[in-house]
Amino acid sequence: MLQTLYDASTTQQLAQLGIRAGWQCLEVGAGRGSIAHWLAGCVGPAGRVVAADMDPRLLRHESLPSNVEIRTLNILTQAVEVQQYDLVYCRALLMNVPQPEVALAHMAAAVRPGGWLYLEEFDLRTLSAVDAAYPGAALFDWTIQTCWDALHAAGRLQPAFARRVLGLVEQLGFVHTGAIGEVLLGRGGSHPLGRFWSLTFRVPGIESLVEQGVVSREAFEQMRQLFDDAAFAFVSSIQFRVWGQRPDEGT
């Protein structure tokens, strides 16, 4: 679902960084490898793409080009080559790790002078019903935010970390920085955003929020039902895209 929703805009923005043949690229949290595959075509046989993930099983099932290296990596605890990559990229990674500042610093350290750091993170706090008068909308909004609060308190999620990324990249000394945000309007049912969130709230372990008494079973089920309701419209999370360039040596 993430690939379907965001790959086109991701690759369009990445292309503006001037990726060319021979570049060395690192994607952290590579998922199923769609962006790594695209990058491999950009850098050509003389270049290399490292597609890294804590669990690379999905990557190993994909037919990736020969210039893609699949690597098992925990960006919080495992070393990455220092200043070796022309591009370091991630999507929806920092928000899902307990020490996002550490992960960001490790990725930044891998960027060579003149290279680019490009990060995409989602601000989940904007996820809400379009029409407050829609049946169940108020409870939907309350349930969503209560879930984010509980996951944040448990150290499992940083729902608004995306807002801080640009400032942190600037603090790390990167120049030519920039950021844009994209908000998609979604509907329940078969709409890709509706499917994405319906599936998200059915992943193993998510119902522990009900078992812990964070939200009631009734509220949780009503929220999921709205994600399956084709007439229900909602504002999705803001996708922040942030970039910065490591200064060339001597500048």
Convert the pLDDT of each residue in 172-204 to its tens digit: 999 999 999 999 999 999 999 999 999 999 988
**pLDDT at residue number 49:** 98
The domains of the chain are located at: 2-245
Percent of the chain residues past pLDDT 90, beyond the cut: 96
Query: What are the tens digits of pLDDT across the range 19-61?
Result: 999 999 999 999 999 999 999 999 999 999 999 999 999 999 9
Write the CATH number of the domain with boundaries 2-245. 3.40.50.150
The residue type of 124 is L
For residue 249, name the pLDDT band (cuts at 50, 70, 90): confident
Q: Which two tokens mark 209?
A: 């929020």
For residue 168, name the pLDDT band (cuts at 50, 70, 90): very high
Phi/psi of residue 25, nearest 5 degrees:
-125, 145
CA gap 250, 179 in Å, rounded: 26
Helix (H) or strand (E) holding 39: helix 34-43
For residue 250, name the pLDDT band (cuts at 50, 70, 90): low
Picking from 188, 181, 182, the residue whose alpha carbon sits closest to that of residue 131 is: 188
Picking from 126, 132, 124, 135, the residue whose alpha carbon sits closest to that of residue 160 is: 124
Phi/psi of residue 229, nearest 5 degrees:
-95, 110
Query: What are the tens digits of pLDDT across the range 102-134?
Result: 999 999 999 999 999 999 999 999 999 999 999
Q: How many Å separate Cα 130 from the centre of its chain?
A: 23
**pLDDT at residue number 37:** 97
Q: Judge whether 154 and 98 are in contact, CB under 8 Å.
A: no
pLDDT at 244 over 60: yes
**pLDDT at residue number 251:** 55
**pLDDT at residue number 196:** 95
pLDDT at 240 over 90: yes
The residue type of 113 is P
Query: Global pTM?
Result: 0.94
**pLDDT at residue number 79:** 87
**pLDDT at residue number 207:** 87
Phi/psi of residue 245, nearest 5 degrees:
-115, 135
